[in-house]
Every structure is written in structure tokens, then in C-alpha cells.
Structure 1
Amino acid sequence: MTDRPDDPRTKPPTDGLPKTQPISPTQLRQNAAAKRMLRRLVQGENPPTAPMSIVDRLTGSPYANPMIQVGGVDTSARKTLDFALHLAETMFRYGAGALEVETSIIAVTAALGLKNIEVDITNQSVAINYAPKDQTPISLLRVVRSWTNNYAGLATVHQLVTDIVAGGVGRDEAIRRLDEAITSPKPFPRWMVTMAFGVFAAVFVGVLGGDPVSSLIAFLSNIGVSLLARKLGRLRMPDFFITGTCSFVVTFVALLLWRFGLTNSPSIVVVGGILLLLPTGRLVSSVQDAINGFPVTAAGRFLSTVLTFGALVAGIAVAFVVGSKTGMQEINVTQALPPAYDLWVLVIFIALAVIAIGITEQTAWKLLLPTAAVGVAGYLALLGADTLGLGDRFSPALSAVVIGLLARLVALKMGAPQLVVAVPAALILLPGLTIFRSMYVLTIEESEILLGAGGMLSAGAIVLGAAGGIVLGDTLARPLTRSLASNERRRARRR
């Protein structure tokens, strides 16, 4: 009989040592799993200096895990890059944020077969570098020089990107659909936009406590201001002077009517007139870009926003100076009017105001009522925060978080970006009355200049808090919208 070497696991104990038990396969697997877990905790899954894949930028967006269209890498890469740049330029013109533009470019190029790309967005320019191995690289740049209100067009482009990522649209069809979206008329004619300006001012004056006469004055003055702004725009006047002229006209008309006793709340009439002049969309986009890691783009948009606020303040100040020089009596800016209507009426007013804002921003018809519902929810959250005594600064920020969260849920469900719903719904949070009162104190009551400056800083804090709250709400809603994004892509594939 042939001798075999002893098995160390079954060898009898020697020197008084205890017998070793055999190790089962289950224990071996558990030990290996424990070692892998310990290695992850200590070292991490990737080396600390490993580069981040550009497709990883799609994580958390509606375009995560794009479906690469079969057929190999596109041999005509230049045509695909031109389409991606045209898409990015269109989104910027319609008011999209830098992160949304970047994720759209990455998703579209990845879905159409281009992998070795880099995207750089700097304020008004978009650059794409395509550098495959052993081939001549291609670098393209596009500069955005004009903007327009067209949230319906932005929603259409968003849906186009979703369809491309889902694998249901090829490049040629995508080019045709993008050209069709650009050349399609806006959903609302100019006369309806002009009327919406007046309706918003009238109902918002009612929300602030103004009587029907004050609402009528705000309605007529805002229609006049809208026509004036359109006329000045045709004369190629810069936006800064257009905004300053409009705020001057609104304020001076209110002061004039106050002098002749035709209104008892001129400050509220002014607030109703200047809220639509505030650059809400640019402000939200600038805060969003800063948070998402686009400091240069955020700085450019924030500077544009500050200039617009400066134009508003300058127009109000000039109106006050002209009024004081012509003998107009001073206004009691500390006067707080009680609510003129019941709560259910105010809720209806808020819904009408948000719908009017949506019309001025050229939102699609199907998004008007959902956007109004989000605005009403934000208003109720604002009232609840005020009831709890959270303060004039924290309450709008909390309401903005609610609006940002609901806006992402509603927008993704309706096939649109979050900004399209969030911006019209959040305009009611901006402190127009605080801006007016602070500017009045700075201009007329020189002895209270510190009080006026403090009011302007408080208004700035409220504005930034509201913008940051919208971005925070959007971020908090991302884990809740993963199933919505996948459902949307499945619907696109079925089409």
C-alpha cells in the first residue's frame, strides 16, 4: 500500500496541541467577503488618482446609463458634434443651466457613439473636444449671443434628449426634430403675454392687501410697461436701461396716483409692477451653476443679475427724486395692509399669478396647471412657516425647498426640466416690497441710510435663500425620481 502525505487539516495533534477542525466552503467564502469589505473600507473601490469617466457626470440626471445605439462608432463625428453644439446653444438661449446643458451633451454624444469627448462650458460659450486614439482630434466652439423666453421650446429639447438616450431616435431624425423645435412658433401670441403681465400685477397686488382699485391701476400700468419695454427693445436699447426705464415708469405712476388720492397703497402697486422685471430665472441658474461646480458661468450670470437689480433700484430712486422735487407727499413705507380677501381667494390669486408668469415665460399649455399647483403648495408652505414663527428670511427658503422638490417631480413626470416649473412657481417668494421700502429709505430719508442698507442686504439674503432652496429641493428629489426617469425612457423606446 502506497504511503500518502498526511493531510495537515486531519493530522493528529502533537505536543499537546488541540486538533484543528476542517474549514468548510461557506466559511471560506465568508472570510473572502470580509477581506473584500475591509479592503474597500481602507482603500476604496478606485485608486485616489483615477480619472473620472465623463459619462459618470450623468449620475443623478434623467439621462443616466444612456443606451448606445448599435452600429458602431459614427464615422462622421463632425456632424454629431455640430448637432451637440447646436443643441447646447438652443438650451442656453432658452434659459437652461450649465449642468443640464453639459449632461445633455454627454448623453447625446455617448448615445450616438462618441466616447472620447470633453466638454467645457464658460458663461456664454460651449466647447467640445473629440480626441480618439490614433486619429486627428476635433475641437469646436459655439458662443451664445442672444436669449429668449421659451420654456416650451426648452421642454421640447429636453424630450428630444430623452428620446435619443433611450435609443429611439437616430442622428438625422434628431437634427430634423431640433430644427423643428427651433422654428416652431411660441405657444402664446404677444398680445396674450402683454395681458399676462397685467393680470399678474393685478392679482399679486390683491395678495399683498391692495384693494380692487389698486389692482386695476397695477393692471393698466403693467400693460403700458410691457408695451414700452417691447418698443425699447426694437430700438436695440440695452436691457439695463430698459429695466431701469420700466421701473421708473411704474414707480412714478404710482406716486402720481397717490398724490391725487386714486390709490391708498402706492408701494404695493410698485411691487406688483417690478416683480416680473426681476431676473428670477437667471438668479436661480447662477446659484445652481455655482453649486454644481461651474464658477465662471455662475459669476457671469450673477453679474448680469446684479446689473438687473441695479437697474430696478436706479429706476425707483430716480422716480422718488423726481417726485420729491415736484412736491409729491412722502409715502408711509412701513404701512402694513391687512389681507383684503379670504384665504381661499388668495390661493386662487396665487394660482392665477403663477399661470400668468408661465404665459410670459412661454411655458407649454400642459404645464400651466401643474406649475400653478406647485406655486400654491409653495405659498401654503410659506404661510405655514410664518405661522410657526420661522422668520421672514427662513420661511421663503423653506418654501423654495418645497417648490424645488415638487417641481422636479412634476417636471420629470411631464417630460420637462425642473427649471421650467420651479421658476414661475417661486417668483411669488421674492421680496419686492422689502426692495421698494429699502430703496425709498435710502433715497428720501437720508438720516436712515443704515436702515435702508440693512433692508437691501436682508432682501438679498431672501433672494439668495430662495434660489438656493430651489436647488436644494431639486437635489433632495433626485432619489425619488429615478423610477420616473426610467419610466420616461421606457415610454420613449415604445414610441
Structure 2
Amino acid sequence: MRGVAAESLDARTLNLTLDLSLRVGEVLLSSGAGAADVTATMQSLARHLGVRHPEIDVTFTSLSMSHQADPGEPPIVQIRQVKQRDIDYDDLTKVDRLVTAVLTDEIDLVEARSRLAGIVSSGHGSPRWLVTGAWGFMCAGVTLQLGGSLLVVGLALVAAVLIDRVQLAMARRRLPTFYLQVAGGLVAAVLATGIAAVVPDVDVSLMVTANIIMLLAGIGFMGAIQDALTGFYVTASARILEALLATAGIIAGVSGGLTLASVVGVEITNVDPGRAGWVGVGMLALGSAVCAAAFAGATYAPRRSILPLAVVASLAILLYSAVREASDSRVWAAGIAAFGIGLVAYGVAGRVRVPPLVIVVPAIVPMLPGLTIYRGLSLLAEGGGSTSPGLLALVQAASVAVALASGVILGEYVAQPLKREAARLENRLAGPRLVGPLRARAARRR
């Protein structure tokens, strides 16, 4: 199909090409990809298949694509609605490889459509209970980061499992996400109430904090800021509104559970999510690695990517901790750590054959400002004499989110030309070598 002009395509082929591009964009957008990446992928795919200069519009809930071969003829317009937005890095990786196969002329339009249909219609090799366990281990990793004891780590794991099963049952009844978040916060607070009644000495604040981070981890903070930085303001606004609404649901659930505790006469005085501090370097790195790896498992990331991204996450949190201690600036620490993630994610993703997004998002999850957003909205909801603390917390959360997104994007911008220059240097140095990257040259000679 290379070099075929859209004017020479028959109407059926043109429609199938637009439909393929839209379906690919739908999978990418629903899995958390930024609108700029979705648009660029759809543009490349359509252009390679012979459609020159299509008009593409990507929003949070829909994608549209049109082409007008001649000004005197009516344009062909197709629209797809994004009905499901569950992060699925397995499908994302398969679709990314499908696009690469099309762009390298390994498969044609018909085969690409057939493979895409198989990807979106087939299930996963891993049973659903493994995802539930992964969410539990993610909470355990967060609790390790916050310095919790083994008992608190275990309680956070159990609470996360219960939250996931409750949310899964509600999702099957097609309840909106807001109510799922309310239920998740309520389960966390009620369980904390029960534990405080039985074992008063346990710090249930850490358990609730870990559960809140789990509930906020799947929300598209990164995608929202990336869309805003790349000029897709409508999509960015919708994602931010979704994040704020989901956070409001968590606040409602947790406050409801604490109210229930006071009604039944259980006193919980130490539940203050967001104030827990971090611990030693070793536990910080271990907790971050477990958190990132478990989040990747919960979002169906390919297994070959889990260990590398866990290493990236642990190194990033150590860099974050070092910069924050040296500069006393959380924003600069987040930006520099995110830049490091973006810088290495491009190469790591190429090694394990996944899109860089699969490496970047899990590695950044331990540094997401979800708790700061929660705390800011909680302070605003409480009211009182002044709203300044709540607004200050929200501004700080926004600053950290922008630093994370901009740092990752800048790291990707720097990494891509560096990789190209490294490949050119490798070509110039090709020959008998005792050490160095030999695999690429050997593959080209076959």
C-alpha cells in the first residue's frame, strides 16, 4: 500500500482504512495514551495505507476521522465512541506491534483488521484473581514505602483485595466510577474501624493511605497533564475532571466510614491520610519496586516488562529522595526523577518490546500526588475558617503532576535522538569487536 494516493483508493478500502485507524486509536486512548500519541499513530497508519491528510479529532469520549478526496465531493466521516477506559497494557502492546507491522509492510490492511479484531475480542491469559492479588501487593508496596509494620502491610493487602472484589462486582452491574470509588473508600474506612476496635495500637492510617493510593493509581493524571502540555485542552480538562470526581468519591467513602465508626462508638484518632512520612532508603526502594511491579501486573503489562520497570521505579524513587533531601523541593525532585524515567524508558521499552508508556506509568505511580489531591479536596470540603490549606495542597499536587509529566516528556525527547546517534555510531564502528552491541549488526547481515 506504500505510495498509494487516497484518490486511487476505492470507497470500500478508504472506509476500511479509516475504520482501522479509529479502532487502533480507541484502544490506545482507552489504555491511557495521550491524545497527541493517539493522533500521531492514527495519522501514520492512515498515511501509510494511502490516505493523505485526514482530519483527526480526539477527545476524551470519542474519536472522529474524515477525508475529502476532492473539494467538489462530500467528505467521508467516521466516528467512534470510547465506552470503556480500563487500562490494559497487554492490548496496548499488541496494538502497538500491530501498527509497527503495518508500517513495515509485514501485513496488509485485511490482515491488520483481522488481527485487531482478535486482540480486542480475546481475553487474557492471566485469571482475574491474579489482578486482585496484584492490587493487594501494590498496597503492600505502598505501605512498605510509608514505613508500616508487617501487620499493617498484611492488613493493607487484605483491604485492597476486598476493595477490588467489591468494585468488580459493582462494575459488572455497570455502576458509574464515582460510586465504585465511594464503595472503595467506604470499605477501607470500615475495615480500619474494625481493626481499631480489635487492635487499638495498630496505625490504621497507613492502611487507609495505601488503599487511597490504590484507588487513585488508575486515574489518568499523567495522561491529563500530557494532553494539556501538547495542546489537547478539551481532553485534558475531561481527564482532570474525572480524576477530581473520582477523588471526591473516595473522600465521601472514607468520611462515611469514619462517621460510621463514631456512631458505633469506635474512636479512630490517627486516620490522617497524606501525613505519613517515608522511611529508610532500602525500604523506600523495595516498596517502590513492589508498588510499580504490582501495578503493572494489575494492568496486564507483559510479564517480560515487570522486572525492568521495577528496577527503573526503585532507581527513580532513590533519585527523587536524594534530590528532595538536597534541595527541599518536591517539585524539582519529581521533575528530575521523571526526566530520568523518560530518559531510560525509551531504551528499556525497546529491549523488552513494549511501548514506553508501559514502563513510564508504573514507574511513576509511587510518586503520583494522589494523596495531596485527596488532602486538598478534604480540607476544602471541611470548610472552616479558611480554604487556604486546601488550595495550597491542590496547587502543590498540580505542580508535582506537571513536573512528572513534563519531566517524562522531556526525557523521551532527549532519549530518541540519543538512540539514533548511538545507532549511527554503532554502524560506523561495525567490524570485529570483543565487546559492544553486536546483535543489531549481525541481524542485518543475515
Q: Counterpart in 2 of 1:107?
A: 44
Q: Secondary structure at the match of 1:115?
A: coil
Query: 1:378/1:157 Cα in 2 relative to 1: closer, same or farther (>3 Å)?
Result: same
Q: Counterpart in 1 of 2:2?
A: 68
CA apart distance, 1:95: 2.5
Worse-superposed segment, 273-282 or 422-431: 273-282
CA apart distance, 1:71: 9.7
Q: Counterpart in 1 of 2:149?
A: 211
Q: Which amino acid aligns with 1:184?
A: S
Q: Is the 8 A contact 2:208 2:271 kept in 1?
A: no
Is 1:309 matched up with 2:247?
A: yes
What CA distance in whole angstroms lies between the structure 1 residues aligned with 2:441 and 2:116? 21
What CA distance in whole angstroms lies between the structure 1 residues aligned with 2:413 and 2:288? 25
Is 1:81 matched up with 2:18?
A: yes
Q: Counterpart in 2 of 1:97?
A: 34
CA RMSD after TM alignment? 3.3
Query: 1:432/1:145 Cα in 2 relative to 1: closer, same or farther (>3 Å)?
Result: closer
Which of residues 41, 65, 82 is equivalent to 1:144? Answer: 82
Is 1:330 matched up with 2:269?
A: yes
Deviation track 1:403-442 (CA, whole Å, cap 9, x = no partner) reads 2332233224433332221111111012455456667766
Q: How does 1:468-479 map to 2 (within 5 A)?
A: 468-479=406-417
Taking only the aligned residue pairs, the percentage that are identical comes to 28
Q: Counterpart in 1 of 2:209?
A: 271
Q: How does 1:414-493 map to 2 (within 5 A)?
A: 414-431=352-369, 434=372, 446=384, 450-482=388-420
What CA distance in whole angstroms lies between the structure 1 residues aligned with 2:417 and 2:44? 19
CA apart distance, 1:365: 1.2
CA apart distance, 1:193: 0.6
Q: Which amino acid aligns with 1:138?
A: I
Query: 1:290/1:264 Cα in 2 relative to 1: closer, same or farther (>3 Å)?
Result: same
CA apart distance, 1:194: 0.7
Q: Is the 8 A contact 2:190 2:257 kept in 1?
A: yes
Q: Which amino acid aligns with 1:208?
A: L
Q: Is the 8 A contact 1:317 1:439 kept in 2?
A: no
Q: Is the 8 A contact 2:141 2:286 kept in 1?
A: no
Q: Secondary structure at the match of 1:188?
A: coil
Q: Is the 8 A contact 1:205 1:272 kept in 2?
A: yes
Deviation track 1:112-147 (CA, whole Å, cap 9, x = no partner) reads 122142212232222222112365531222221222
Q: Counterpart in 1 of 2:238?
A: 300
Number of residue pairs the alignment of both structures matches: 427
What CA distance in whole angstroms lies between the structure 1 residues aligned with 2:96 and 2:299? 16
From the two aligned structures, give the one with the greater helix fraction: 2
> TM-score normalized by structure 2?
0.85
Q: Counterpart in 2 of 1:253?
A: 191
Q: Counterpart in 1 of 2:162?
A: 224
Q: Is the 8 A contact 1:248 1:318 kept in 2?
A: yes
CA apart distance, 1:336: 5.4
Q: Secondary structure at the match of 1:168?
A: coil
Q: Is the 8 A contact 2:379 2:387 kept in 1?
A: yes
CA apart distance, 1:107: 0.9
Query: 1:271/1:130 Cα in 2 relative to 1: closer, same or farther (>3 Å)?
Result: same
Q: Secondary structure at the match of 2:330?
A: coil
What CA distance in whole angstroms lies between the structure 1 residues aligned with 2:264 and 2:394? 26
What CA distance in whole angstroms lies between the structure 1 residues aligned with 2:17 and 2:278? 59
What CA distance in whole angstroms lies between the structure 1 residues aligned with 2:34 and 2:198? 46
Is 1:372 matched up with 2:306?
A: no
Worse-superposed segment, 75-84 or 105-114: 75-84
What CA distance in whole angstroms lies between the structure 2 residues aligned with 1:82 and 1:97? 20
Is 1:185 matched up with 2:150?
A: no
Q: Is the 8 A contact 1:386 1:392 kept in 2?
A: yes
Q: How does 1:120-159 map to 2 (within 5 A)?
A: 120-133=57-70, 137-159=75-97
Which of residues 333, 337, 343 is equivalent to 1:399? Answer: 337
Deviation track 1:84-111 (CA, whole Å, cap 9, x = no partner) reads 2222222223332211111111111111
Q: Secondary structure at the match of 1:423?
A: helix
What CA distance in whole angstroms lies between the structure 2 residues aligned with 1:366 and 1:461? 33
